[in-house]
């Protein structure tokens, strides 16, 4: 049986690795999405609709990655429980 400290260390390492990966992917996702909208926004007739689309897109990305992070937090709890047994 593993000690509680070892279990937490393993669970935290898994959690942190996933969280770091998610942050990196989110940054890439935002960068690509922002660039696309910036290019479209250079066409004057699209300026205002693109700003609104950018806001909507930003909220959607934040929500999606927020959900992923909440799931990751839960996985950390489950891994801790499983490894503690």
pLDDT at 26 over 70: yes
Q: What mean pLDDT, rounded, does the chain reach?
A: 89
Q: Which of 1, 11, 4 is nearest to 79 (CA)?
A: 11
61's enclosing H/E stretch is helix 47-84
Alpha carbon distance 37, 47 (integer Å): 9
Token pair for residue 40? 């479209």
Predicted local confidence at residue 38, as pLDDT: 87
| pLDDT > 70? residue 2 | no
Q: Is the pLDDT of residue 1 over 60?
A: no
More confident residue, 7 or 62: 62
């Amino acid at each position: 049986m593993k000690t509680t400290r070892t279990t937490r260390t393993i669970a935290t390492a898994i959690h942190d690795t996933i969280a770091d990966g998610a942050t990196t992917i989110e940054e890439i996702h935002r960068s690509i999405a922002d660039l696309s909208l910036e290019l479209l926004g250079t066409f004057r007739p699209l300026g205002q609709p693109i700003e609104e689309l950018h806001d909507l897109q930003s909220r959607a990305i934040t929500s999606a990655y927020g959900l992923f992070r909440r799931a990751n937090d839960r996985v950390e709890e489950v891994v801790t429980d499983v490894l503690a047994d």
